[in-house]
């Protein structure tokens, strides 16, 4: 290895080394030579020349400190020999004896001013009048401890570093702070979570940026664990990992007694609750977030299809309908499906067990439905819910749902509360929120119903063909910053989409771009995603009306869409019998599932760990990506 030469000076034939150097300007010399990663600049004695006797200079800095706060030592003694090297020869170093002038005074100064030096690992010998350095065997276990000055550099022993680097100076502020503040500082490594209500173009660009920032935050935290033991304790704290997890994937859902049970190999089973007892949710910090973070990373790899052995989820197939299954919805615990056999069925999402069947209310195929089954009944510990179904008989039925006791396998009961009439054709799609029920039908009309009064609020007309799908956005700020009381987007067989304002009933914007009729739609924030009979999926901005991206890959009509902008994931289903997983940020197809159904796929939904789809083959298929991750799967939803 070669090093750059120091500044050139007239070079004599013989270079003398080991002689005391003439003290130059210390501020120039040490500011360049002693800026190293070894620590703060060192103290010497030869630089203390022009300052009061009670102060000492700090090398490399224009600073003087009290003499009582410094540790100094005299220069190395002259041992009576000089090192000579001939520049025109490759011979080994040789030595010649120098006069003994000043030897005894120097030795006396060294012995009286500094503690004994540790024994040198080399000895000097002169066989045949030829002086050489020779190494000798050292018993390192018998060496005395450091005397406190072993690492101190003085003038003629200074180490030269080329190129010079900055000195690591200062104090460890993190460990000097109270633990609460130190943990808070490390939690600030978590990236900002994208705002789903931002303009659509911003949402799409934020998705890949957020993934990069989250990965960088993880690497930084892992690096902090390697700094010191105390830093490692801070970086391993559960609250810090919780901050990183929430910033990347959102808060962990509360896990109650009726949720998916933990894996028996990794979690202890809790005793069953007594009858009538209300389940208690898991406290947020009771979760091991470091372990959960690792499991969620592996889950994302499975979704993206980048696992080393191309991990494939094992499907669970539910059978019970006697004809095509047109629609589905599911929560953390239940699946509800509607079929051409005119029935509605409720299933356990975990075990696949059939929990309830509702028949006799519709005189035609059940084409669409939406439900909520989350509210706890304090009297029984069971669940209460709300279901809306639409049928080819032109009616919309509103149901009350309940279970008589707690438990995910508890039977589910339903009773019709009201029937909403008014459509002149089969009801093809539904949406609900806390204020409205929105339905669309073959009669090219969209009807808005009051959820509280169960009465018609408004009818929207403007399409020239059947309205196959609707999307609903509750009152909020739109992507253009304007406040609205609720908006609807409708997709029709005439190839158009229309954005409506619920309060005024006015048309806000019309979207055109597909080559054929539209079959499905998703409306999340400022994002509108449409699927069409032209086999394409398009992503639009509701505020600007611009088409931001076109996803191509399906070979048949795109029949169903499900989107999660927070995780940047889109799932689509088609008449080509495939289910595709897309990255919203890049528009890239992450995974294609082709063998789950044997006929046209009519509907698809997903959450953080599962895809559920229904088909003309009468089956409901659940693809679970969270198997054997070593954590409670209910935490990954």
423-552 topology per CATH: Methylamine Dehydrogenase; Chain H (2.130.10)
Partners of 96 in the β-ladder: 82
Between CA 580 and CA 595 the distance in angstroms is 12
Between CA 559 and CA 576 the distance in angstroms is 10
* Residue 69 reports pLDDT greater than 80: no
Residue of 10 and 623 predicted with greater confidence: 623
CATH 2.130.10.10-classified regions of the chain: 423-552
Tell me which of 348-357, 402-411, 462-471, 528-537 is least confident.
Answer: 402-411
Report the relative pairing of strands 334-339 and 344-348 from DSSP bridges.
antiparallel
pLDDT at 148: 46
Mean pLDDT, the chain, integer: 77
pLDDT at 186: 94
Q: Which residue has the tokens 């299933």?
A: 347
Of how many residues is the chain composed? 637
Q: Confidence class of residue 26 from pLDDT cuts 50, 70 and 90?
A: very low
* Cα of 423 vs its chain's centroid, Å: 46
* Residue 321 reports pLDDT greater than 80: yes
pLDDT at 595: 85
* Residue 42 reports pLDDT greater than 80: no
pLDDT in tens, 272-298: 545 554 444 445 557 899 999 999 999
Between CA 579 and CA 539 the distance in angstroms is 18
Q: Is 559 within 8 Å of 600 (Cβ atoms)?
A: yes
Proportion of the chain above pLDDT 90, given as a percent: 51
Q: Confidence class of residue 10 from pLDDT cuts 50, 70 and 90?
A: very low
Q: What is the mean pLDDT of residues 467-491?
A: 80
Q: Is 386 within 8 Å of 401 (Cβ atoms)?
A: yes
Q: Which residue has the tokens 């080329």?
A: 162
Residue of 147 and 66 predicted with greater confidence: 66
Q: What is the mean pLDDT of residues 594-602?
A: 92
Q: Is 67 within 8 Å of 56 (Cβ atoms)?
A: yes
Between CA 624 and CA 349 the distance in angstroms is 10
DSSP H helices, 274-367, are 289-304
Collapse the DSSP code of 426 into the 3-class scheme (helix H, G, I; strand E, B; otherwise coil) and give the result.
coil
Between CA 443 and CA 464 the distance in angstroms is 9
* Residue 561 reports pLDDT greater than 50: yes
Q: What is the pTM of this model?
A: 0.69
Q: Confidence class of residue 155 from pLDDT cuts 50, 70 and 90?
A: very low
pLDDT in tens, 237-269: 999 999 999 999 989 887 653 344 444 444 444
């Amino acid at each position: 290895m070669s090093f750059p030469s120091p500044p050139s000076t007239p070079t004599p034939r013989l270079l003398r080394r080991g002689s005391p150097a003439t003290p130059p300007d210390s501020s120039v010399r040490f500011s360049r030579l002693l800026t190293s990663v070894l620590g703060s600049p060192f103290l010497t004695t030869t630089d203390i020349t022009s300052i009061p006797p009670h102060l000492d200079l700090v090398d490399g800095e224009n600073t003087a400190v009290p003499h009582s706060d410094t540790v100094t030592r005299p220069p190395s003694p002259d041992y009576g020999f000089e090192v000579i090297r001939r520049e025109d020869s490759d011979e080994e170093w040789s030595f010649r004896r120098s006069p003994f002038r000043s030897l005894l005074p120097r030795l006396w100064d060294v012995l009286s001013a500094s503690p004994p030096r540790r024994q040198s690992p080399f000895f000097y010998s002169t066989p045949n009048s030829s002086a050489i350095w020779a190494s000798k065997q050292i018993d390192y276990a018998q060496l005395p401890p450091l005397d406190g000055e072993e690492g101190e550099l003085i003038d003629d022993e200074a180490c030269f570093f080329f190129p010079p680097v900055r000195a690591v100076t200062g104090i460890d502020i993190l460990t000097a702070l109270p633990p609460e503040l130190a943990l808070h500082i490390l939690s600030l490594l978590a990236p900002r979570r994208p705002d789903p209500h931002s303009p659509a173009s911003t949402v799409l660009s934020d998705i890949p940026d957020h993934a990069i920032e989250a990965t960088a935050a993880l690497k930084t935290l892992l690096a902090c664990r390697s700094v010191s033991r105390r830093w490692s304790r801070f970086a391993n704290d559960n609250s810090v990992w919780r901050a990183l997890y929430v910033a990347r994937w959102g808060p962990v859902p509360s896990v109650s007694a009726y949720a998916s049970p933990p894996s028996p190999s990794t979690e202890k089973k809790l005793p069953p609750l007594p009858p009538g007892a209300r389940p208690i949710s898991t406290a947020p910090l009771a979760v091991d977030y470091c372990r959960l973070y690792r499991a969620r990373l592996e889950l994302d790899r499975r979704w993206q299809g980048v696992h080393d052995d191309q991990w494939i989820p094992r499907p669970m197939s539910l059978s019970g309908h006697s004809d095509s299954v047109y629609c589905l919805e599911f929560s953390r615990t239940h699946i509800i499906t509607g079929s051409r056999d005119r029935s509605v069925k409720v299933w356990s999402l975990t075990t696949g067990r059939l929990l309830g069947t509702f028949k006799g209310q519709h005189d035609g195929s059940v084409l669409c439905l939406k439900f909520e089954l989350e509210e706890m009944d304090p009297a029984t510990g069971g669940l209460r819910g709300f279901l809306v179904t639409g049928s080819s008989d032109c009616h919309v039925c509103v149901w009350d749902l309940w279970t008589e006791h707690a438990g995910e396998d508890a039977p589910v009961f339903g009773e019709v509360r009201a029937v909403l009439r008014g459509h002149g054709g089969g009801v093809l799609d539904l949406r609900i929120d806390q204020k409205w029920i929105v339905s669309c039908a073959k009669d090219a009309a969209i009807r808005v119903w009051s959820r509280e009064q169960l009465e018609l609020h408004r009818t929207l007309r403007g399409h020239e063909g059947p309205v196959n799908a609707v999307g609903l956005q509750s009152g909020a700020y739109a992507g253009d910053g304007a406040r609205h009381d609720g908006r609807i987007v409708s997709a029709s067989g005439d190839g158009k989409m229309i954005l409506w304002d619920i309060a005024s009933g006015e048309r806000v914007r019309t979207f055109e771009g597909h080559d054929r009729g539209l079959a499905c739609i998703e409306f999340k924030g400022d994002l509108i995603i449409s699927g069409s009979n032209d086999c394409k999926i398009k992503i639009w901005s509701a505020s600007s009306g611009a088409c931001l991206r076109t996803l191509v890959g399906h070979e048949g009509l795109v029949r169903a869409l499900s989107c999660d902008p927070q995780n940047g994931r889109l799932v689509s289903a088609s008449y080509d019998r495939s289910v595709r997983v897309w990255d919203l940020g890049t528009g890239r197809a992450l995974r294609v599932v082709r063998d789950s159904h044997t006929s046209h796929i009519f509907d698809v939904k997903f959450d953080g760990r599962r895809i559920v789809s229904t088909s003309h083959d009468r089956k409901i298929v659940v693809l679970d990506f969270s198997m054997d991750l070593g954590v409670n799967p209910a935490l990954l939803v």
